[in-house]
Amino acid sequence: MARARSRIAGVISVFGELLITAGLVLGLFVLYSLWWTNVLADREASKQGDEVRGNWANSGPGALDTKDGIGFLHVPAMDNGEVLVKRGTGTKALNAGIAGYYTDPVKSALPWDKQGNFSLAAHRDGHGAKFHNIHKLKNGDSIVFETKDLWYVYKVYAALPETSKYDVGVLNPIPKGSGKTKPGRYITLTTCTPVYTSKHRYVVWGQLERTEKVDGRRTPPPELL
């Protein structure tokens, strides 16, 4: 009897140690996913952003759509600093701590196009989490896009807190569900929701209010001061 109890106690002890180990591994995984990937992504995004600004300083006038990045997104209400914007919304691209503009299933317009929907995606958690605070955006809030020569100032006019990840209509030139019925110059921000999942999509829409020329000191528009 004593020997059987000893064996049971041994099994329980080993099982307990395995649970502790599993808990530590899970904790380290969560730490890596929600913190360390942010550190790495922010470091990479900063490096890429410096390269873009360096290219701007050494090139002539004109906004160019290149693989290196077309400009920087500034959203004060999200408190996320400047966000480099590049072509494409694939996981590998977004994991670098940037926002990407859609090339499919609906091709994004670009800010300098005469009309269309400049549609963007970024991670909400991990890998820079550039759109983590998207839920803080309210109607009337500013979204500013910076290129080499111009500031594009948009104002938020609508949001969709939850929709299917297959709802591509939100990316249309006239965004479906946004309340707009005529062509214009729109911006759309999309990311995953609920937080820590990728089950649905959170969408925010803005409309271009004005543009401002970039001066020699790159003085930001009032919305960013």
Would you kindly state where each structural domain of the chain is located, as residue ranges? 49-224
Can you tell me the distance from the alpha carbon of 119 to that of 170, in angstroms, rounded to the nearest whole number?
9
Catalytic residue annotation: 192
The distance from CA 159 to its chain's CA centroid, rounded to whole angstroms, is 16
User: Can you spell out the DSSP letters for 112-167?
Assistant: TSSSEEEEEE--SSSTT-TTTTGGG--TT-EEEEE-SSEEEEEEEEEEEEEEETT-
pLDDT-based confidence at residue 51 (cuts at 50, 70, 90): very high
| Domain at 49-224, CATH from 3.40.50.10540, 2.40.50.140, 3.50.50.100, 2.40.260.10 | 2.40.260.10
94: phi then psi, degrees, rounded to nearest 5 = -70, -25
pLDDT digits (tens, 9 = 90+) for 163-199: 999 999 999 999 999 999 999 999 999 999 999 899 9
Out of 24-33, 90-99, 128-137, 177-186, which region has the weakest mean confidence (pLDDT)?
24-33
Contact 99, 85 (CB under 8 A): yes
Arithmetic mean of pLDDT, 100-124: 97
What's the Cα-to-Cα distance from 222 to each of 73, 142, 144, 219, 225, rounded to whole Å? 15, 10, 10, 9, 5
> Does the structure show a pLDDT above 80 at 61?
no
Give alpha helix (H) positions in the chain.
2-31, 37-57, 91-94
Can you tell me the distance from the alpha carbon of 37 to that of 130, in angstroms, rounded to the nearest whole number?
12
pLDDT-based confidence at residue 125 (cuts at 50, 70, 90): very high
Contact 116, 107 (CB under 8 A): no
Express as a percent the part of the chain with pLDDT over 70.
81
Sign of CA dihedral 37, 125, 128, 101: positive
Model pTM? 0.85
